[in-house]
């Protein structure tokens, strides 16, 4: 190869840490701009050039069928199920299905490395993306780092290492950028294991969330917005704390979520091969969406370690979503006794299984649609995918 036909991206220069990114305030710090793949940023960035539907066709051979009610919400898929590990991994976010799949893929030589995110020495929630090459390194990445994480910052190392088979674990905005540069990585096989993602925050935003919501912010090791309409915190001493969604100090938390996450319409990680979350499953179970053949292959590896059941759906979310729109918009916070009561009632009669997932998608898409309309009106038409427009179109929005 002469210097003339040397790939162009080798000449692009990664941005310096802390410098302003091309997507400006909408940047989710996905890590692409920390590498020479910044060369492709105008095409690849999920916040500059939303192209979920085109990339669905590239990845899964077709884009989602907008007239199929499940695909409209959950994207292209072969199957969905609820699952949990028979022997959960201690310290994992849920039962550790993600870490288990990654470990099996490495042990069975399907891949040579796994892009995942460990934490820094100083900070249990400080993200440190790595290419793991042992099960220990994958296990060290278990549990959510509930902050924006530059997972793609290790992509240069992939090409330099000469690795040919890779698994990437990541959230929607990271995976959209990855899919755009996928062909430039020099890989023979790429597997993508995604998680859903919503309401992420900067590290400073996370601190504010913990301080306004938890009784002991410094001892939180893990938290999740769960299907019982409560935030569950786990503390260092093993104790748990629950706070009802309706009791969150919405007025103080309004600005805590990153602008990227307030503008995101890829909650369900449409471009991953396999998605592992929880929101479409009964309480305590994880939710699995197999999007294509690669996803099926990955799940197959761990099936005998899982207990599974079919997905279910119960209740009607629409009234609750419609009521949540002005409540969020006005930053209403209920007194704690009322929030607890509402939590108990809604848990008894509220949406469950896939209907809970639709509740969460609807409330976030309507909120985000309003955010983009008010803060970036010039982007609204191009940035919101057709499926999200249809979902939002079911509700009456304030001006």
- Which residues would be at the binding site for ligand FAD (CB under 6 A)? 92-99, 116-117, 127, 141-146, 149, 151, 169-171, 195-198, 200, 224, 276-279, 286-287
282 binds, among ligand SF4, ligand FAD, none (CB under 5 to 8 A by kind): none
Which residues have a Cβ under 8 Å from the Cβ of 192 and sit 6 or more positions away?
167, 168, 170, 175, 178, 179, 271, 272, 273, 274, 294
Is 201 near ligand SF4 (CB under 6 A)? no
Residue corresponding to tokens 């991206």: 9
34 vs 228 by CB, closer to ligand SF4: 34
Nearest Cα residue to 271 out of 75, 80, 81: 75
149 binds, among ligand FAD, ligand SF4, none (CB under 5 to 8 A by kind): ligand FAD
Is 190 near ligand SF4 (CB under 6 A)? no
228 binds, among ligand FAD, ligand SF4, none (CB under 5 to 8 A by kind): none
Among the residue ranges 29-37, 189-197, 205-213, 273-281, the one whose residues contact ligand SF4 (CB under 6 A): 29-37
Query: Rounded to an integer, what distance in angstroms lies between the CA atom of residue 172 and that of residue 315?
Result: 28
Nearest Cα residue to 233 out of 222, 225, 244: 222
Consecutive H or E run containing 313: strand 313-314
Determine whether 156 is exposed, middle or buried from the number of CB atoms within 10 Å of its CB (0-12, 13-18, 19+).
middle
29 binds, among ligand FAD, ligand SF4, none (CB under 5 to 8 A by kind): ligand SF4
30 binds, among ligand SF4, ligand FAD, none (CB under 5 to 8 A by kind): ligand SF4
* In the complex, minimum distance from the CB of residue 292 to ligand FAD, in angstroms, rounded to a whole number: 19
* In the complex, minimum distance from the CB of residue 298 to ligand FAD, in angstroms, rounded to a whole number: 13
Cα 390 to Cα 50, 384, 395, distances in angstroms = 16, 10, 10
* In the complex, minimum distance from the CB of residue 19 to ligand SF4, in angstroms, rounded to a whole number: 11
Which residues have a Cβ under 8 Å from the Cβ of 385 and sit 6 or more positions away?
50, 52, 53, 265, 266
Is 45 near ligand SF4 (CB under 6 A)? yes
14 vs 301 by CB, closer to ligand SF4: 14
Determine whether 13 is exposed, middle or buried from the number of CB atoms within 10 Å of its CB (0-12, 13-18, 19+).
exposed
Applying CB under 6 A, which of residues 41, 101, 175, 281 lies at the interface with ligand SF4?
41
229 vs 287 by CB, closer to ligand FAD: 287
* In the complex, minimum distance from the CB of residue 53 to ligand SF4, in angstroms, rounded to a whole number: 19
Among the residue ranges 41-49, 288-296, 304-312, 367-375, the one whose residues contact ligand SF4 (CB under 6 A): 41-49
- Kindly calculate the radius of gyration of the chain based on its CA atoms and give it in whole angstroms: 20
Strand, coil or helix: 338: helix
Residues 269, 99, 126, 115: what is their CA dihedral angle, to the nearest 10 degrees? -70
Query: Rounded to an integer, what distance in angstroms lies between the CA atom of residue 72 and that of residue 357?
Result: 12
Letters for 149-178 (x = contact with ligand SF4 by CB under 6 A, - = none) are ------------------------x---x-
Is 29 near ligand SF4 (CB under 6 A)? yes
- Bridge-based pairing of strands 306-309 and 189-194 is unpaired
Q: Which residues bind ligand SF4 (CB under 6 A)?
A: 21-23, 27-30, 32-33, 41, 44-45, 47, 173, 177
């Amino acid at each position: 190869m002469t210097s003339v036909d040397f790939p162009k991206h080798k000449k692009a220069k990664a941005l310096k840490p802390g410098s302003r990114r091309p997507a400006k305030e909408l940047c989710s710090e996905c890590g692409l701009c920390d590498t020479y793949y910044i060369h492709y940023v105008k095409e690849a960035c999920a916040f500059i050039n939303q192209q979920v539907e085109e990339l669905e066709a590239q990845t899964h051979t077709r884009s989602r069928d907008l007239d199929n009610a499940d695909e409209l919400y959950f994207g292209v898929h072969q199957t969905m199920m609820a699952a949990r590990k028979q022997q959960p991994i201690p310290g994992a976010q849920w039962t550790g299905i993600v870490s288990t799949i990654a470990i099996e893929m490495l042990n069975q030589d399907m891949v040579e490395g796994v892009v995942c995110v460990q934490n820094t020495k100083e900070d249990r929630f400080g993200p440190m993306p790595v290419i793991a090459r042992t099960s220990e390194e994958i296990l060290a990445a278990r549990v959510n780092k509930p902050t924006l994480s530059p997972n793609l910052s290790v992509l240069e190392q992939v090409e330099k290492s000469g690795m040919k088979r890779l698994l990437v674990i990541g959230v929607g905005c990271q995976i959209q950028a990855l899919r755009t540069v996928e062909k430039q990585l020099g890989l023979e096989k790429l597997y993508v294991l995604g998680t859903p993602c919503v309401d992420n925050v900067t590290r400073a935003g996370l601190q504010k969330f913990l301080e306004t919501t938890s009784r002991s912010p410094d001892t939180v090791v893990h938290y999740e917005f769960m299907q019982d309409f409560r935030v569950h915190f786990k503390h260092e001493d093993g104790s748990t704390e629950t706070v009802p969604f309706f009791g969150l100090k919405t007025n103080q938390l309004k600005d805590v979520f990153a602008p990227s996450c307030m503008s995101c319409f890829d909650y369900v990680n449409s471009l991953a091969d396999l998605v592992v979350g929880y929101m479409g499953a009964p309480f305590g179970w994880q939710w699995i969406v197999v999007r294509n053949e690669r996803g099926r292959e990955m799940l197959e590896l761990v099936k005998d370690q899982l207990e599974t059941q079919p997905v279910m759906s119960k209740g009607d979310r629409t009234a609750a979503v419609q009521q949540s729109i002005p409540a969020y918009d006005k930053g209403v916070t209920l007194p704690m006794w009322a929030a607890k009561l509402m939590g108990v009632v809604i848990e008894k009669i509220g949406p469950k299984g896939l209907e809970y997932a639709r509740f969460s998608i609807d409330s976030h898409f309507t909120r985000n649609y309003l955010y983009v309309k008010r803060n970036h009106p010039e982007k609204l038409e191009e940035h919101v995918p057709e499926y999200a427009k249809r979902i939002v179109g079911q509700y009456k929005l304030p001006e």
